[in-house]
Every structure is written in structure tokens, then in C-alpha cells.
Amino acid sequence: MPERRTHFRTCHLCEAMCGIAIEVEGSEILSIRGDDADPFSKGHICPKAPALADIHKDPDRLRRPLKRQGDGFVEIGWDEALDLAAARLHDVQTRHGRSAVATYLGNPSVHNHGPALFAPMLVKALRTKNRYSATSVDQLPHQLVAYFMLGHQFLFQVPDIDRTRHMVIFGGNPLASMGSLMTAPGVKARLEAIQARGGKIVVVDPRRTETAELADEHVFVRPGTDAILLFSIVHVLLRERTPRLGHIAPLVRGLERVKELAMDYAPARAEGPTGVPADTIRRLALELYDTQPAVAYGRIGTSTQAFGAQCQWLISTINVVTGNFDSPGGVMFTTPAVDALKAAAGLGIGRGSYGRWKSRVRGFPEAGGELPVATLAEDILTPGEGQIRALVTIAGNPVLSTPNGTQMDRALASLDFVLAIDPFLNETTRHAHLILPPVSPLERSHYDAALHVVAVRNTAKWSPALFDAPAGTMPDWEIILGIKSRLDGLRGGRLRDRAANALLRRLGPDGLVDVGLRLGPYGLRKGRAGLSLSRLAREPHGVDLGPLERRMPGRLPADHKYIDLAPAKLVADVVRLRASIDTKTDDGKLLLVGRRHLRSNNSWMHNSAKLMAGKPRCTLLVHPTDAARLGLADTDLAQVTSRVGSVRVPVEVTGDIMQGVVSLPHGFGHGRKGVRLSVAARSENAGVSANDLTDDKLIDELSGNAALSGVPVEVARA
């Protein structure tokens, strides 16, 4: 009789860090439920958690390395695969220079402490300037602004959702995404609790989202114009109220400069471009000051747009001047058990940087050691000195996730060598010459090395692997370290590298977490038992370390003991924003925005039949007035065309989308040739890729983040 047992761990699929209880009998998963004893999530889960079983069992999930042969792939052994990976990378670098190899780290590498801790080591060892990641299609503006204002890119400002009385959400839909840069399991209940204690929630979004439905007020905003709206809010605050700086007053610099800049953004002037009535703007501003505590929170809608950095700067500024910065119920800073700021330094990830080098073709500045992924394809395709010849992807699917996916498709197909560390043969990895698949997520241990930095409460939890990894399989970190040590060997095998690699192999990610815990703020101290891996191993539901606490000025870097409200780079960029106010964009085009669905997760979970059940989700939302003008009715096929491409997609006519705006989710488009995803690629599931419409030339010129929101498109009956 196989033994029946319950295994506790954290769901790693999104940022919410829900505790789950997995009931197993032998190697069979009987159920996946919320873990009521998890002190953070208290039993909450979403429909994606049970799909962990689907990922684990998925026959399409790769178990052995695949090597390209002709038009197809053959399985090879691990030694051969790792030798080949290192040899090919070494060869390209020897012939064409270090930077001829580019790297791209995708989103799941943040949700898995193996690649989170080990991928940066491989990237560093490659010593290439062509480093890319999903950061520049996501939160780069948040990081760059944190670097400019606070001196460290990982000083994320976390909305203290559990104590606030007033929350204004710009461009985020936590009821679908479950919260982002705001790890808050059971976010719906946390939002409802704001209302239950007499508070208010406002959502500013070009679509009446699930979150807007729940909110007390929804304000439509024209895509890409939030920075004007936010500046106008700052304008009202600084004209009509006295900045409430409180304990951070001695730290704040640049307030007068912001005040001068904000003078151009009177609500009456902002109304036209943003579509938000002037009196609404004024009220939004004053409510944020007059209700205490209050918090302004901006997420991906305000980050993946042409003024992403301006938006994050102005949101921070609003929280500062309303007295809601580093203050309960406003934005706060975490105290994670493994201090990610120190850990990042240990991994050679700096506190931030800007403009140390530039992308080859368009000359976009590096930010935080990376180049904008919107420039990757052109730096592959454009011949000349310094052309990229090889790419390593780790947990990334740039063909579906980055702007102008068809160009990315072409670029990847042209490379001399593509190495993918990835469990699936998908839209991106089909271009690989070698695919190295890691073990199933349930065959590895888990610690959220990154997400605790953005959590609304300080907690810590480590979970062992549920199942032993089958013989002849490897977790991400072993694959990565295997390549790195071979590369070191090919370069002469310095003693120092050999010793470091041997130590890393012995420690693995768990050993590194143990070191981090012991050296961290709750670690072992004289005469007091603190956190360590063995201590966490005895706490299968995790430990609660308390609510967020004031961290200013202590959390600021030693040589940046101030909060800069007017960083030079952001101030200089205001010229670009001001010019946009009077630019007439009304040329009859509709503006494309994205959306997320609770049962979907970026591009890679459409192979779960359970999650795909229900009505098709890859549809174009069109406002009734636009639909009537275009002669489109529900379920009609529309041809949507942008500067870079065209797709055919069924229409959903709805008053929930702002007039002049259309919405298409990203992460679909699985019908591409050679994809081995039997459920996702079915015609009823495959959908089309929104990123075949998004434009690599639309970019936040300051941060380099892709402007995936507000893409001009033409829509017609197909």
C-alpha cells in the first residue's frame, strides 16, 4: 500500500505565495488545496494551484535534453548536453567576442530559487553586455525610479493594503493577477477589508476590470496618459495642500523642483489628453490627502507604457507628499528573512545603474545591467560589428512575451546557437539547438528568494521537494552550474573558479538560503535561536515575522541617505511628456491594451486542459460605439493591424472597455509550427499573440521598457 500523506508548500505560479496542501498517495496526487495553517495566505488559493498537478504530469513536459537534428529534435544524455552547451557558447565567444552571446531570463526564474540564485552567476560568467530579461517588459520603470530616488533598484514600495483606508489603483487588476509587486495572498478579501473598515478603493483603468467592479469608484483613463493625470494630481496636492512629510522630512530633496514642474499640469489642461474630467482629477488628489492613511499604487498598465518611469516617479511623489511614504497604510518597505538587497550584492547584481553602455543599433542605455528586450531582435538581425550570434534563454518565452514577436521569431531562427533552459518545446524553444529541461516544480525544494521583498507582510517559508527527482533529471540550478563550470574549464579552469563551483555545488540553492537566513535580520544571534534552514524545515506552514515596519532612513544605502523627488534624469524626461500633451493622436486608430485572466499565466500555462476549459479567452474587447462604427458584432472575426503585424481574432463587444480602446490578452499564439504543446496548440485554445501587434519601436525612452500598452491599431471586419 503506498503511503498517503499531505505535503505543504508554496504555490510558485504567481506572486501571491499561497500556501498549499498537496495530498498524495505514493506518486499520485490526490488533491491540491489551500493550506489553512499558512500564516500568510490562511487557506486562500486560486484555480491555478491545482494545475500544478497538470504541469507535473504533462506528457509534453520535457524530461531529457533535446538536441536539434535537421528539422526535429533528438534526446541526448546530460553530460553530452552540458558539454555541448558550454562548447558552443565558448566557441561563439572566442570567434565573435563575449557580447556575441546574449542572455534572456524569463519570469518563472523569479519564482524558483534555483535559477533566481544561479542564473545571475552564469550571466556574470559569460561577461556579455547583451543581457536581457522580462524586466524590460514589466517592472523596469519601478526599479529604475527606486534607483534614482532611493539609491537602490530593489527598494520596492509595497502598498500596505492591510492597514490603508484609501487605495487608488492605477493600471493593475489584482483580482485577475492576484497582485503584483504586492504579494498579498487572498487579495480580494484584503481589498474588501478596506471597504469593511470604512475605506474606499478607486481603480483608474481604460477597462472596467474585475477589480474596478469591486471598487467604490472606477475612472476611465486614455491609455498611456497616466503620467499627465498623475502630474495633475501632484499639481493639485502642492497647490492646495501642505506637503505632509513627517519623519521623512529631513530626507526629502527636490520638492520645490517638482512643484515648478507640476505647474504645467492643471486639471483643466490634463482633462483633454487623459479623458479624466478636471473635477475628478482634483477630487482624486484631495481624497488621497484628506483620507489617512491612503496609498497610490501603480502596476503594469502604468509601467509598460511610453511614460512608465514618469508614472512610477509621480506615484512615489504622491505617496511622499500625502504623508504615506514609509508609513503604515501607505507604501512601506519589507524586511525579508533573506535580505534580497544583500543577496543581490552577493550575486554581483548591483544596486542599480544607468547608461554604462548602450544597445548596438538604437543606442538605448543599459539600466540595472540590462538592455531593453525591445532592442534584442534588431541587435540580432542587423549585420555589423558586435552582432549577436547566440542566445541563452532561461525560463523565458520572448517570442510570445516581447514586442514584435514575429520579428523575434525571425531573429531567433537566424542565430548560430540558441540554448534554452526550459521544460517545454514552445514558440521560443523550437528555435533552440539545445533544450535543457529542469525537473518538475514538485521535484524541487522551494523558497521565495525574491517575492518576500514585495510582500505586504514579513514571512518566511521553505518547502522540501514533494517527489524525488527521477534518475537522470536535473533541477535548474544544477543545469546552470553544470554549464558554468564547464565554461570555466574551457577558459583555462582557474583554481579560484573551481573552488567556487565546488562550494556552490555542495550548497545548492538551499545552502545559499540557509546562509542568507543566518546572516539575515532574523538570523542566529548571540544567545537567541533565529531563522535557519533547519528551523524553517520544522515549520512546514511557514513563519510569520510581523507587519511591515518603518525602515527609513535605515534601509537607504549608506551613501544615499536621502529621498530625491527630482532626480535629474526624470526631470529631463519631463520635456518629452509635456510635448505629448498637445500632440494630436486622434487619427482614427484604436489603442490596444492587454489584460490578464485568473485561469491563465503569461504564455506557458495553456497546456492544462483544466485551466483552458470555459469560453475562449483570447478575444478582442471592443466598445459598442466602436463596434457599430466598424460593423462588428459579438463573435465576429476582426482583423487587427498595427505597424508591425496583423492578427485575426474574435470580437467581444462590451461597455466595460473605454471607447477608442481595444483589449487583447497576451501569451497566446500557440499555433506556430513546431510547438509541442498538445492542449495549448489545439485550434480552440491557440489564440493569437498580442505581441505580434505590439511594436518594438514603442518604448519608454527613459527606462527602455517596452510600451505594450496604448499601441495604435486599425480594426476591421475580417
Ligand X SMILES: Nc1nc2c(c(=O)[nH]1)N[C@H]1C(S)=C(S)[C@@H](COP(=O)(O)OP(=O)(O)OC[C@H]3O[C@@H](n4cnc5c(=O)[nH]c(N)nc54)[C@H](O)[C@@H]3O)O[C@H]1N2
The site for ligand X (CB under 6 A) is made up of 14-15, 106-108, 112, 115, 134, 137-138, 170-174, 176-178, 180, 204-207, 209, 221, 223-224, 226, 299-302, 304-305, 394-398, 401, 421-424, 426, 438, 441, 476, 593-598, 600-604, 666-667, 690-691, 694, 708-710
User: Which of the 8 DSSP states describes residue 467?
Assistant: S
Q: Is 510 in the site for Mo ion (CB under 5 A)?
A: no
**Pairwise CA distance, residues 406 & 400, whole Å:** 9
Binding to ligand SF4 by CB under 6 A, coded x per residue (else -) over 177-216, reads -x------x-------------------------------
Least distance in Å: CB of 134 to Mo ion?
A: 6
Question: Helix axis angle, 308-321 relative to 226-240, nearest 10°?
Answer: 20
Q: Is 662 in the site for ligand SF4 (CB under 6 A)?
A: no
Cell of 493: 579552469
Could you tell me if 111 and 448 are in contact, meaning their C-beta atoms sit under 8 angstroms apart? Answer: yes
Q: Could you say which of ligand SF4, ligand X, Mo ion, none residue 438 binds, taking C-beta under 5 to 8 angstroms by partner kind?
A: ligand X
How far CA 46 is from CA of 34, 105, 164, 592, in Å, comes to 9, 26, 24, 28
Q: Is 455 in the site for ligand SF4 (CB under 6 A)?
A: no
Residue 600 exposed, middle or buried by CB count within 10 Å (0-12, 13-18, 19+) = buried
Least distance in Å: CB of 12 to ligand SF4?
A: 7
Q: Could you say which of Mo ion, ligand SF4, ligand X, none residue 206 binds, taking C-beta under 5 to 8 angstroms by partner kind?
A: ligand X
For the chain, what is the largest distance between any 2 Cα atoms, rounded to a whole number of angstroms? 75
**Pairwise CA distance, residues 139 & 596, whole Å:** 16
User: What is the β-pairing status of strands 252-253 and 354-358?
Assistant: unpaired
Cβ proximity to Mo ion, 35 vs 138, nearer residue: 138
Cβ proximity to Mo ion, 181 vs 318, nearer residue: 181
Q: Is 49 in the site for ligand SF4 (CB under 6 A)?
A: yes
Q: Could you say which of ligand SF4, Mo ion, ligand X, none residue 49 binds, taking C-beta under 5 to 8 angstroms by partner kind?
A: ligand SF4
3 state SS of 59: coil
498 backbone φψ class: left, alpha, beta (φ>0; ψ -120 to 50): alpha
Least distance in Å: CB of 559 to ligand X?
A: 31
How far CA 497 is from CA of 19, 493, 502, 632, in Å, comes to 38, 7, 8, 63
Q: Which of 248, 38, 45, 40 is nearest to 162 (CA)?
A: 40
User: What is the β-pairing status of strands 217-219 and 354-358?
Assistant: unpaired
Least distance in Å: CB of 94 to ligand X?
A: 26
Could you tell me if 326 and 332 are in contact, meaning their C-beta atoms sit under 8 angstroms apart? Answer: yes
Cell of 161: 493594503
Cβ proximity to ligand SF4, 186 vs 199, nearer residue: 186
**Pairwise CA distance, residues 85 & 82, whole Å:** 5
Cβ proximity to ligand SF4, 134 vs 702, nearer residue: 134
**Pairwise CA distance, residues 86 & 485, whole Å:** 9
Cβ proximity to ligand X, 128 vs 694, nearer residue: 694
Q: Could you say which of Mo ion, ligand X, ligand SF4, none residue 11 binds, taking C-beta under 5 to 8 angstroms by partner kind?
A: ligand SF4
Backbone angles phi, psi at 221, to 5 degrees: -130, 140
**Piece of 11-19, 209-217, 315-323, 660-668 that binds ligand SF4 (CB under 6 A):** 11-19
Non-local CB neighbours of 285 within 8 Å, separated by 6+ positions = 232, 233, 234, 235, 236, 237, 240
Q: Could you say which of ligand X, Mo ion, ligand SF4, none residue 45 binds, taking C-beta under 5 to 8 angstroms by partner kind?
A: ligand SF4
Non-local CB neighbours of 241 within 8 Å, separated by 6+ positions = 286, 289, 321
Q: Could you say which of ligand SF4, ligand X, Mo ion, none residue 224 binds, taking C-beta under 5 to 8 angstroms by partner kind?
A: ligand X
Q: Is 15 in the site for Mo ion (CB under 5 A)?
A: no
**Pairwise CA distance, residues 446 & 42, whole Å:** 19
Q: Which of 7, 8, 9, 16 binds ligand SF4 (CB under 6 A)?
A: 16
β-sheet bridge partners, residue 200:
166
Count of other CB atoms within 10 angstroms of residue 75:
11
DSSP 80-144: HHHHHHHHHHHHHHHHH-GGGEEEEE-GGGGSSHHHHHHHHHHHHHHT-S-EEEGGGGTTHHHHH
Least distance in Å: CB of 602 to Mo ion?
A: 7
Q: Could you say which of Mo ion, ligand X, ligand SF4, none residue 596 binds, taking C-beta under 5 to 8 angstroms by partner kind?
A: ligand X
Least distance in Å: CB of 32 to Mo ion?
A: 23
Cβ proximity to ligand X, 476 vs 510, nearer residue: 476
Q: Which of 8, 9, 14, 552 binds ligand SF4 (CB under 6 A)?
A: 14
Least distance in Å: CB of 170 to ligand X?
A: 5
Cβ proximity to ligand X, 226 vs 271, nearer residue: 226
Least distance in Å: CB of 692 to ligand X?
A: 10
Residues in the chain: 718
Cell of 91: 566557441
Cβ proximity to Mo ion, 138 vs 476, nearer residue: 138
Least distance in Å: CB of 674 to Mo ion?
A: 26
Could you tell me if 185 and 41 are in contact, meaning their C-beta atoms sit under 8 angstroms apart? Answer: yes
Q: Which of 7, 8, 9, 11 binds ligand SF4 (CB under 6 A)?
A: 11
Q: Which of 309, 314, 318, 298 is nearest to 245 (CA)?
A: 318
Q: Which of 7, 9, 48, 299 binds ligand SF4 (CB under 6 A)?
A: 48
Q: Could you say which of Mo ion, ligand X, ligand SF4, none residue 694 binds, taking C-beta under 5 to 8 angstroms by partner kind?
A: ligand X
Least distance in Å: CB of 178 to ligand SF4?
A: 4
Least distance in Å: CB of 197 to ligand SF4?
A: 23
**Piece of 42-50, 76-84, 436-444, 666-674 that binds ligand SF4 (CB under 6 A):** 42-50
How far CA 407 is from CA of 261, 387, 489, 693, 697, in Å, comes to 39, 16, 36, 11, 12
Question: Helix axis angle, 308-321 relative to 140-150, nearest 10°?
Answer: 50
Cβ proximity to ligand SF4, 444 vs 560, nearer residue: 444
Q: Is 563 in the site for ligand SF4 (CB under 6 A)?
A: no
Give buried/exposed letters for 551-582 (b at 16+ CB in 10 A, else e): ebeebbeeebebbbbbbebbbebbeebeebbe
Query: Considering only residues 95-154, where is the footprint of Mo ion by CB under 5 A?
Result: 138
Least distance in Å: CB of 561 to ligand X?
A: 31
Least distance in Å: CB of 110 to Mo ion?
A: 8
Cβ proximity to ligand X, 255 vs 479, nearer residue: 479
Least distance in Å: CB of 177 to Mo ion?
A: 9
Q: Could you say which of ligand X, Mo ion, ligand SF4, none residue 18 binds, taking C-beta under 5 to 8 angstroms by partner kind?
A: ligand SF4
Q: Give residues in contact with ligand SF4 (CB under 6 A).
A: 11, 13-14, 16-18, 45-46, 48-49, 178, 185
Q: Give residues in contact with Mo ion (CB under 5 A).
A: 138
